[in-house]
A and B are shown apart, each in its own frame.
Chain A
Amino acid sequence: MMEVFEVVQPGSLTTIQDMGRHGYQQYGVPVSGAMDSYALMVANLLVGNDEGAACLEITVLGPRLRILGDTVVAVTGADLSPALNNSPLPMWETVKVCSGDTISFGHPKRGCRGYLAVAGGIDVAEVLGSRSTYVKSCLGGLDGRPLRSGDRLCSGEPRAGISARKLPSQYIPEYQGENELRVILGPQDDYFTRKGIQTFLHSEYRISVQADRMGYRLEGPPIEHKAGADIVSDGIPLGAVQVPGDGLPIILLADRQTTGGYAKIATVSTIDLPKLAQAKPGDRVRFIQITEEEAYQLLQEYDRGIDALKQYIKCNDKDLRPSSKDR
């Protein structure tokens, strides 16, 4: 364990996240975890970590961090103008940093959540099997809260022989202001009229300002219920689209409550959640219906892509140790 970062400025919302806290929803504990699990995974792979190691999730306005020990980092996800000692820091590749350096972020250009991985992962105590921060209940991360000025963060033990890794461009997602989200109807699609389902599937919705880690409220044509929005409460899967009485959909995300009492018209497919996590208020979404089987096939295909990516990273390692790259 070594100290790696000192937080000079925390940014608007910087939290420690991993792949989430699984197994405790039955006790009312939300899953949390990275909103963009793809960007977190890639950041980890680039610095030689397990794909689910804890990283910093940086929201819109990034922090200013002083480096406390020589190490390797990678920044992925949203382009929030990262800089190393005030020069642009390349994203989606490993970057060596030395004690005394400063990583900062500037104008948010594309997307809204950046991920900063450090070799060895951010080392904080696991709470219920995860390092993810759930701010509302002060669970996990650093004392269950977003980072503050003066915080010092440690990393775990880095893997031996970390290499210079760069993600091939075809694996770098493009974040757009318009997103098509594939959805699987259910579990309560029968609570909506035919017209309501048609409205949902054929309208454009805009992400409202009420969009956070818990969920995104959307604005657009109201979706018609048959006879009210209330159900006897049940569980809420990741990406569930619930429609309360006003007919405006809410997509429930990482910090969602474990149970809820509004009818859920559909669930966003797993592979479309990372791009949704990068969507900002004002961005637009459309819902495209697919079957459960199609979603399953798409997920298998996506996993084959991830396997190929991991293979590529392994086969194209360049030794990082000779520090010939002058800083």
Chain B
Amino acid sequence: MIYEKPRFLPGGDRALFVEFGDTIDPELNRRVKQLMLTIQGAELPELVEMVPTYRSLLVYYDPHLTSPEELRAKLKILTEKSEAGEFPNPKVTEIPTAYGGEYGCDLEFVAEYNGLSPEEIIRFHAGKAYLIYMLGFIPGFAYLGGVSPRIATPRLPTPRAKILAGSVGIAGNQTGIYPAESPGGWRVIGRTPIELFNPEKEPPALLQMGNYVKFVQITAEEFKQIRKEVVQGTYCIKETPFLRKNDDGSI
């Protein structure tokens, strides 16, 4: 649920949580994002950094510059301000994805498990906008919401030792992209040639919470071409403004 009033909870002596609720809910997540933008705009000298998540904003502060009590009072005011504020529309980042075959070794399984054809799985997965609820787990990894229950598939019983960077997977009713090579138990249905995390870029992560991603099917040929451009640094990420047409995030 979304609380009637946000809760201000201690995270030790250098951090405070502003918690808006305890569920996974796009509206709740939007409030977290709005508060983050409002605090960024306020340019508080005591602010160290913020960690926005599904349902709360963790605010790290410098205790040399404020007491927790003072900060709470400020955050209360900013929280009220953020609810009334105007904010820019989120954007949708296109993730070109090659599905199946060498790029998505579990596509056949996911299809069979759900009683659909591989093409139908792709149709359900690609072309719709998924909300980025937060980043975490490993650098650049986005927690996405809005997967069709028609393609939900349990994780592998034993995780694989190595999943390649860019792999697009399904785990239960979640979908995600591995930003770096990693062990993992997700069902890999495709792979993107674009970079999700690069510490030499600012910001280092391609995706940011509160925005959306849309998977766009590409061929193996296109995968190789885009990969080449990504390596050369000439690839241009496609982004469009998010238009609130449907509540379920589809556009």
The chain A residues found within 8 Å of chain B, CB to CB, are: 22-30, 127-128, 136-137, 139, 184-187, 231-240, 257-260, 267-270, 292-293, 295-296, 298-300, 303
**A251 to chain B: closest CB distance in Å?**
11
The chain B residues found within 8 Å of chain A, CB to CB, are: 9-15, 17, 19, 22-24, 36, 48-58, 60, 63-64, 67-69, 134-141, 143, 180, 197, 199, 203-205, 208-209
Q: Is A28 touching B11 in the complex (CB atoms < 8 A)? A: no
Known: A25-B49, A26-B51, A296-B67. Contact between A235 and B139, CB under 8 A? no
Q: Is B136 touching A184 in the complex (CB atoms < 8 A)? A: no
Residue in chain B with minimal CB distance to A273? B12
Q: Which of A30, A128, A234, A269 has the most CB of B within 10 A?
A: A234
In the complex, 11 of the A-B residue pairs with CB atoms within 8 angstroms, ordered by the A residue number, are A27-B135, A30-B139, A127-B199, A137-B180, A185-B10, A233-B136, A234-B51, A259-B51, A259-B134, A269-B12, A292-B13
Pick from A29, A127, A234, A299: contact of B56, CB below 8 A: A234
Q: Is B49 touching A233 in the complex (CB atoms < 8 A)? A: no
Q: Is B17 touching A187 in the complex (CB atoms < 8 A)? A: yes
Residue in chain A with minimal CB distance to B66? A296
Main secondary structure of the interface of A (DSSP, over half): mixed
Residue in chain A with minimal CB distance to B67? A296
The complex places the Cα of A22 from the Cα of B52 at a distance, in Å, of: 15
Q: Is B137 touching A257 in the complex (CB atoms < 8 A)? A: yes
Contacts of B36 in A (CB 8 A): 26
Q: Is B19 touching A234 in the complex (CB atoms < 8 A)? A: yes
Contacts of B48 in A (CB 8 A): 22-23
The complex places the Cα of A126 from the Cα of B137 at a distance, in Å, of: 23
Known: A24-B204, A259-B53, A296-B63. Contact between A237 and B136, CB under 8 A? no
The complex places the Cα of A270 from the Cα of B68 at a distance, in Å, of: 14
Q: Is B9 touching A186 in the complex (CB atoms < 8 A)? A: yes
Pick from B9, B13, B180, B205: contact of A27, CB below 8 A: B205
Pick from A30, A128, A237, A257: contact of B204, CB below 8 A: A128
Q: Is A27 touching B140 in the complex (CB atoms < 8 A)? A: yes
